Amino acid sequence: MPRAIGRVVPHRQSLIPILWLMTDERIGDGLWAALRRLPRGSGVVFRHYATAARERRALFRRVVRIARARGLVVVQAGERDGFGENGVHGGARGSGLQTAAAHDRREAVAAVRRGADVLFVSPVFATRSHPGAKALGERKARRIAQGLPVVAIALGGMDARRFRGMTGFDGWAAIDAWGSRGSGAK
């Protein structure tokens, strides 16, 4: 399994970020501050599943413009490719980087068989975006992607402080950690 050095790991098509922002409607206008906080070379998984199609496309185009200017990688979740993204998330059809969520080993193996380059293993810790979801804990989360030929990203209640004490992951992703109150990559 590739091990991260700095902020990216080599990939067959480009470099894979090890720091990620997961977007959703809950982030609201905090999205723009979060995009500014991301270090160059970081990634964005654009989700916004509940946003109306026309508004979602416009929002995605704005995120892509900012990402290009800031040297960020953007993958889009959903049923279709957007314009200008670097890949797709969650089994969506498209080219470029393929990312997927894995909540257990079965999902992780299935994602790898579908061609995933990156696995977001979650939820490692309790998270506000999925209240009541049972956290995996570090040990169980680590075993989900162990030995698979992908970049493993810890997701769920993550921030830079928590990640520093972890092993078995190449990087981390969050929503809240990149927000106005979040700790980001400090």
Q: Which residues of the chain have pLDDT under 70?
A: 1-14, 79-84, 180-186
Strand-pairing partners, residue 97, are: 87
* Residue pLDDT, tens place only, 118-166: 999 999 998 877 777 789 999 999 999 999 999 999 999 999 999 998 9
Tell me what pLDDT residue 116 has: 93
Tell me what pLDDT residue 66 has: 96
- DSSP for 38-52 reads SPTT-EEEE--TTS-
Q: How far is CA 109 from CA 99, 139, 145, 180, in A?
A: 13, 18, 8, 35
Tell me what pLDDT residue 65 has: 94
Tell me what pLDDT residue 99 has: 94
Q: Which amino acid is at 32?
A: W
Tell me what pLDDT residue 91 has: 75
> Mapping DSSP to helix (H, G, I), strand (E, B) and coil, where does residue 58 land?
helix
